[in-house]
Structure 1
Amino acid sequence: MTRTVWHLPLYSAGLVMPAFAVLLAGCVTLPPVQPPLVGPGDAAQWAHQVGVSEQAALSQSPVPRQWWALFNDPTLTALEAEIEANLDLQAASLRIEESRARLGLTEAARRPQLFTEAGYSRDAISKNSGLHRLGQPTSGYDTWSLGLQASWELDFWGHLQNQEESARANLDAAWYGQKAAQVSVAAEVARSYLLLRSAQAQLELVTENLQIAAELVRLADSRERNGVATRFDIASARADAAGLQARYEELQHQSDALKNSLALLLGKPPHAFDRRVAVAELPPMPARLPIGIPSELAQRRPDVLQAEARFRAAVADIGAAKSDFYPRISLTGNLGVQAFNLSDLGSWGSRRYSVGPTLYLPIFDGGRLSSQLALTETRHRLAGIAYQQTVLRAWHEVDNALSGYSSELRRHEQLELALTQNRTALEVAQRGYRQGTADFTSVLMARRSLLASQYELNDCATASALAVVALYRALGGGWSSHLQDGVAGGRI
Structure 2
Amino acid sequence: MNLGQPSRRADRPKRALLGALALASMLAAAGCSVGPDFMSPDPHLPQASFFGPPSSATETGLPPGGPTRSNFAQVDPRWWDKFNDRALSTLADKAARVNLDVRTASIRLAESRFQRGVTASALFPTINASPSYQREQYSENGVLSLASGFTGQPIHVPPVSVYQVGFDASWEIDLWGHVRRQVEAAEAEVESSEYQRRDALVATLAEVARDYVELRGVQTQIAIANANLASSNDILQLTRTRAEKGLTTGLDVENAAAQVESVRAQLPSLENQESAYINALSLLLDEPPGSLKAELAKAKPIPPTPPRAPVGLPSELARRRPDIRRAEAELHAATANIGVAVADFYPSVKFNGSAGFNALDLKNLWKGSSLQYQLGPSITLPIFEGGRLKSTLDLGEAQQQEAYIAYHKTVLQAWHEVVNALVAYRTEQERRARLKAQVEHSRQALSLSRSRYNNGVGDFLNVLDAQRTVLQAELQHAQSATAVSTDFVQLYKALGGGWELAFPAEDAASVASAAQ
TM (norm. structure 1) is 0.89
Partner deviation per Cα, 1:84-138 (whole Å, 9 max, x = no partner): 2000000000011001101111121101222222112334556665675256867
Match of 1:480 in 2: 500
Match of 2:203 among 178, 184, 202: 184
- For residues 397-454 of structure 1, the C-alpha deviation after alignment (integer angstroms, 9 at most, x for no partner) is 0000000011012112211211111111000011111122112210111011111111
Q: Which residue of 1 aligns with 2:105?
A: 92
Letter in 2 for 1:396: H
Residue 73 of structure 2 contacts residue 313 of structure 2 at CA under 8 Å; is this kept in 1? yes
Q: Is the CA contact (8 Å cut-off) linking 2:216 and 2:302 kept in structure 1?
A: yes
- More displaced 10-residue stretch of structure 1: 111-120 or 185-194: 111-120
Q: Deviations over 1:29-87 (max 9, x none)?
A: 42341354331369832487415974469611100110011111111111111012000
Find out whether 1:142 has 2:147 as its counterpart: no
Alpha-carbon contact 1:123-1:142 (below 8 Å) kept: yes
In structure 1, the residue matched to 2:42 is 37
Aligned residues: 473
Aligned to 2:280: 261
State the AA in 1 paired with 2:237.
Answer: R
> In structure 2, the residue corresponding to 1:147 is in which secondary structure?
strand
Structure 1 residue 73 corresponds to structure 2 residue 85: yes
> Match for 1:270 among 289, 300, 307?
289
CA contact (8 A) 2:134 2:162 kept: yes
Instruction: State the SS of the aligned residue for 1:269.
Output: coil
1:372 aligns with 2:392: yes
Q: Is the 8 A contact 1:35 1:384 kept in 2?
A: no
- 1:408 counterpart = 2:421: no
Within 5 Å, give how 1:285-304 maps onto structure 2: 285-304=305-324
Q: Which moved more, 1:140-149 or 1:361-370?
A: 361-370
Three-state SS of the structure 2 residue aligned to 1:50 is: coil
- Note closer, same or farther for the CA distance 1:384–1:395 as it changes in structure 2 (3 Å cut): same
1:283 to 293, 296, 303: 303
The verdict on how the C-alpha distance between 1:351 and 1:25 changes in structure 2, with shifts beyond 3 A counting, is closer
Q: Deviations over 1:264-297 (max 9, x none)?
A: 0111111121122221111122122111011111
| Distance change in 2, residues 1:43/1:187 (3 Å) | closer
Give the structure 1 partner of residue 4 of structure 2.
none
Could you tell me which of 346, 353, 375 is aligned with 1:333?
Answer: 353
Structure 2 contact 50–415 (Cα < 8 Å) conserved: no
Matches within 5 A, 1:141-290: 141-277=160-296, 278-290=298-310
Kept in 1, the 8 Å contact 2:50–2:418? The answer is no
- For structure 2, the residue ranges without an aligned partner over 5 or more in a row are 1-15, 55-59, 149-154, 512-516
SS of match in other structure, 1:143: strand
Identity across the alignment (%): 35
Contact 2:112 2:190 in 1 (8 A): yes
Detail structure 1 runs of 4+ shifted over 6 Å in the superposition: 135-138, 481-484
Q: Which amino acid aligns with 1:30?
A: G
Q: CA deviation at 1:360?
A: 2.3
- Counterpart in the other structure of 2:446: 426
Q: Retained in 2: the 8 A contact 1:224–1:231?
A: yes
Per the alignment, residue 115 of structure 1 pairs with 128
1:212-256 superposed Cα distances (whole Å, 9 cap, x missing partner): 111122222233333333333222222222122221111111001
Task: Determine whether 1:447 maps to 2:467.
Answer: yes
Q: Deviations for 1:340-391, whole angstroms, at most 9, x for unmatched residues?
A: 2333212222111121112223333343333332322222111111101110
Structure 2 counterpart of 1:61, from 54, 69, 73: 73
Q: Name which of 345, 362, 372 aligns with 1:352.
A: 372
How many Å separate the matches in 2 of 1:211 and 1:56? 45
1:142 is displaced (CA, Å) by 2.9
Change (3 A) 1:57 1:316: closer
Letter in 1 for 2:90: A
**Secondary structure of the corresponding residue to residue 279 of structure 1:** coil
Change (3 A) 1:121 1:229: farther
Change (3 A) 1:56 1:439: farther
Gaps of 5+ in 1: 1-9
AA aligned opposite 2:437: L
Once residues 184 and 137 of structure 2 are traced to their aligned partners in structure 1, the CA distance between those partners, rounded to angstroms, is: 51
TM-score (norm 2): 0.85
Across the aligned residues of Structure 1 and Structure 2, the Cα RMSD in angstroms comes to: 2.9
